[in-house]
Amino acid sequence: MNFYNINNPSEQVSLKEAVLKSVTRVSDLYMPEYIPILSSEFFNKLNNTSLQEIACNVTKVMLGQDIPDISIENIINRALNFEIPLRQLDKNLYVLELFHGPTLAFKDIGARFMAGLFEYLLRNENRETTILVATSGDTGSAVANAFFNCKMVKVVILFPAGKVSNIQEKQLTTMGGNIMALEVDGDFDDCQRLVKLAFSDAELNSRLNLTSANSINFARLFPQSFYYFYGLSQLAATNKPVVFSVPSGNFGNLTAGIIAKKMGLPVHRLIASTNVNRCVPEYLLNGRFDPQPTIHTITNAMDVGNPSNFRRILDLYNNQYNLISTDIKGYWFTDEQTLRAMNDLQNRYLYQADPHGAVAYLGLKEYMERNDCCGIFLETAHPSKFPDEVEKATNKKVQIPETLKDLMALKKGSVKMPNSFASFRDYLI
Ligand SMILES: *Cc1c(COP(=O)(O)O)cnc(C)c1O
């Protein structure tokens, strides 16, 4: 599979380059030159196929010319060693739980696949690669966990000081080894800006072999398509159209859903559910994309004022607004509505959701009020990652998994960093 740069479609690169090469201009994004379609045979037996088999099939049609089957199977079996269960809450209402990985958020799925792919692609290299990752919380911990002890890879994580939860901070700052955590005096967009500046610095690039692990990297984005297939495979037969509601920030998750749909998955609609950082739902309403400064909310993993993957969405639809706004519906919600939704889920269905999943539930409910369908919302984090909000909203203690209890006892190790590229550059060198 060749990949092209959305900014300059005539720039074609291999999988290895698309994944490992730093993103050298500020907004370069790679996409596969075409989206392959899975066979009807695959879809006919979808219901009897395991998560790992589905993921192998999907990967083989996309990357089978670049990676031998046996290596694909190894990467998948190591990355996806946990379940992604679909739970039924009501007649046509389901929740797909993406948080059963080691850091309890859906980002484990992309990060673990990516780490396996890096190891495969770097197997013959003897130069170290440095991964830079800006995080609003969950990305950094998933990447740190996935790449811990990975040979020939160093990971530098930038997170906004004071804007991630306690648990997220522990997950980011306690790995040690080849993982470095920088606490930036700014917000997520500042962290992302620093990373982008580093990528556009030729000297840094050549000295450190920089690459990205944000969802702008295709290797992280692509595996997120697996669970759309697996979600549908667990669904009892229905003659209603199926929609997925996706709690969205940087829009990697939703973009992966579009890719799954283009690969042939019978998904009727995707719902972009956001907090008040709402430039995509507004675009879907009026056709104007007007990114705004980031607003801080209780769904901090979705506090993104200017989502990088939006341009991938445009590209997947050839910039045709009418097609995009038909396939994707968008809704946004305030923190107050999100807290009420957590309460509602607890009272109606005895389901304790995290705030991000609650936003997805709200978007789905809004859509289902006007449309008869079978709805699945994505639950992207375990409620124990946001205990204060969840307990306040549901009047019920959250169950803390054992792995988290152990984590909270560890000592934080991070470096404080002003919001300045000069300091960041010095640190890297
Ligand atoms: C990252 C994250 C999101 C947003 O996902 P995007 O792919 O950036 O849209 C939603 N929920 C949680 C818990 C996250 O960590």
Give CA angle at 159 (314, 360), nearest 5°.
50
* Closest-lying ligand 1 atom to the alpha carbon of residue 255: 7
Q: Residue 391: how many CB atoms within 10 A of its CB?
A: 16
**Separation of alpha carbons 358 and 392, rounded Å:** 14
**Separation of alpha carbons 237 and 213, rounded Å:** 37
CA of 288 to the centre of ligand 1 (A): 23
CA of 127 to the centre of ligand 1 (A): 32
Decide: 32 and 130 in contact? Cβ < 8 Å.
Answer: no
CA of 246 to the centre of ligand 1 (A): 9
Among 96, 108, 114, 138, say which to mutate for ligand 1: greatest number of ligand atoms within 8 Å of CB. 138
Q: Closest residue (by CA) to atom 1 of ligand 1?
A: 301
| Range 171-205 burial, b when 16+ CB lie within 10 A, else e | bbbbbeebbbbbbbebbbbbbbbbbbebbebeebb
Decide: 291 and 264 in contact? Cβ < 8 Å.
Answer: no
Decide: 121 and 147 in contact? Cβ < 8 Å.
Answer: no
Among 96, 225, 250, 298, say which to mutate for ligand 1: greatest number of ligand atoms within 8 Å of CB. 250
Decide: 287 and 333 in contact? Cβ < 8 Å.
Answer: no
Backbone φ and ψ of 31, nearest 5°: -135, 150
CA of 20 to the centre of ligand 1 (A): 23
Q: In sequence order, what are the beta bridge partners of 90? A: 93
**Separation of alpha carbons 237 and 184, rounded Å:** 49
**Separation of alpha carbons 116 and 121, rounded Å:** 9
Ligand 1 contacts (CB < 6 A) are 105, 107, 138, 215, 247-253, 301-302, 356, 380-381
**Separation of alpha carbons 76 and 60, rounded Å:** 11
Among 253, 278, 280, 333, say which to mutate for ligand 1: greatest number of ligand atoms within 8 Å of CB. 253
| Strand pairing category for 3-5 and 374-379 | unpaired
CB-based burial label for 41 (10 Å; 0-12, 13-18, 19+): exposed
193 Cβ contact partners less than 8 Å away, ≥ 6 residues apart: none
How many CA atoms does the CB half-sphere of 270 hold within 13 Å?
31
231: nearest Cα among 391, 339, 406, 87: 87
pLDDT tens, per residue, the chain with 429 residues: 999 999 888 989 999 989 887 555 556 789 999 999 999 999 999 998 999 999 999 999 999 999 999 999 999 999 999 999 999 999 999 999 999 999 999 999 999 999 999 999 999 988 899 999 998 777 888 999 999 988 889 999 999 999 888 888 999 999 999 999 999 999 988 998 999 899 889 999 889 989 887 768 899 999 999 999 999 999 988 899 999 999 999 999 999 999 999 999 999 999 999 999 999 999 999 999 999 999 999 998 899 999 989 999 999 999 999 999 999 999 999 999 999 999 999 999 999 999 999 999 999 999 999 999 999 999 999 999 899 999 999 999 999 888 888 888 999 999 999 999 999 999 999
Known catalytic membership, residue 107: yes
Ramachandran region of residue 341, left (φ > 0), alpha (ψ -120 to 50) or beta?
Answer: alpha
Q: Residue 14: how many CB atoms within 10 A of its CB?
A: 14
Beta strand spans in 126-172 (E)? 129-134, 153-160
Active-site residue among 60, 107, 154, 170?
107
Structure tokens at 57: 């099939």
CA of 60 to the centre of ligand 1 (A): 26
* Closest-lying ligand 1 atom to the alpha carbon of residue 356: 11
Q: Report pLDDT for 215.
A: 67
CA of 229 to the centre of ligand 1 (A): 19
Domains, in order of start, for the chain: 83-106+220-399 (3.40.50.1100)
**Separation of alpha carbons 131 and 153, rounded Å:** 7
pTM: 0.92
Q: Report pLDDT for 25.
A: 55
